[in-house]
Amino acid sequence: MHLFYTPDIASTIYQLDEEESKHCIRVLRLKLNDKVNLIDGKGGFYLAEIIQDHPKKTILEVLEAQKDFSKRNHHLHIAVAPTKNIDRFEWFLEKATEIGIDEITPIICERSERKEIKHDRSNKILTAAIKQSLKAFHPVLNPQISFKEFIAKAKTDVKFIAHCEEGHKGFMKDNFKPNLNYLVLIGPEGDFSIQEIEYALQNGFVPITLGESRLRTETAALQACFEINYLNRP
């Protein structure tokens, strides 16, 4: 069944905006009385029927509503340095959404070659991915922030930093407790600087390894996402 993202749904009657109406009627060729699914990005999952098939103002009536649809049993926040090649970062956004993520913060680090991302464009990728993978919760994409500012205010139950420098590092699964809030830091191409790692450790981050392989930034971020989801499997 076709699915629409309706973040501002507030009653049982919902009018699609002009673009979505056109998509619904002209592209998908849906008609009066056809059924569609809606997600609101906050856990709401709806079954709705087309009660006016106007190509500029399509109106839907909600028939059934579920709250907390496929609610996750933990909260995962990944703070990652956007890659030089933005495709790689965008790919991470899509894949992490499919696998399961709640919050993403682009962090600008000492060795970051990319200093900014297009927030709206990135957010649209997340929206497309929740529609494709049928998720009712929209991951939160925070504004980009400098590493130092981010670390100073990071308050999460469990805080990890994945880095490639020498020193003792465990796996995330060591002493792992499920169903908590997790924050994982992933550095840029060229890794975090020694000073950044020190600063994170002083602020309660636990150094971890993602295994023996040398991973690209976006692969490391996805590996972290896999592991936290895996460790929280019911």
Amino acid (one-letter) located at 111:
R
Does position 83 interact with a copy of itself (CB under 8 A)? The reply is no
What tokens appear for 2 in the block? 């076709």
Task: Return d(Cα 145, Cα 205) in angstroms, integer.
Answer: 18
Candidate list 171, 178, 179, 204; residue touching a copy of itself; CB under 8 A: 171
The single residue among 40, 90, 196, 227 that binds a copy of itself, judged by CB under 8 A, is 227
Query: With respect to a copy of itself, which residue has the nearer C-beta, 100 or 106?
Result: 100
C-alpha distances (whole Å) from 71 to each of 9, 74, 156, 180 are: 19, 9, 19, 14
- In the chain, how long is the greatest CA-to-CA distance? 64
Q: Residue count at the site for a copy of itself (CB under 8 A)?
A: 25
Of the residues 85, 133, 181, 193, which one makes contact with a copy of itself according to CB under 8 A:
133
d(C-alpha 55, C-alpha 32), whole Å? 11
Do 6 and 39 meet the contact criterion of CB atoms below 8 Å apart? yes
Q: Which stretch binds a copy of itself (CB under 8 A): 9-17, 22-30, 37-45, 95-103?
A: 95-103
Sign of CA pseudo-dihedral 193, 185, 41, 27:
positive
Pick 21 or 82: Cβ nearer a copy of itself: 82
233 is a contact residue toward a copy of itself (CB under 8 A): yes
Under the binding rule (CB under 8 A), the answer on residue 127 touching a copy of itself is: no
Tell me how far, at minimum, the Cβ of 111 lies from a copy of itself, in Å.
18
Binding of a copy of itself by 90 (CB under 8 A): no
Cα separations (Å) of 182 from 51, 66, 102? 43, 27, 10
CA–CA separation, 172 and 161 (whole Å): 10
The reply on whether position 174 binds a copy of itself by CB under 8 A is no
Residue selected from 7, 178, 204, 211 as contacting a copy of itself according to rule CB under 8 A: 211
User: Which residues of this chain interact with a copy of itself, rule CB under 8 A?
Assistant: 70, 91, 95, 98-100, 132-135, 171, 211-216, 219, 222-223, 226-227, 229-230, 233
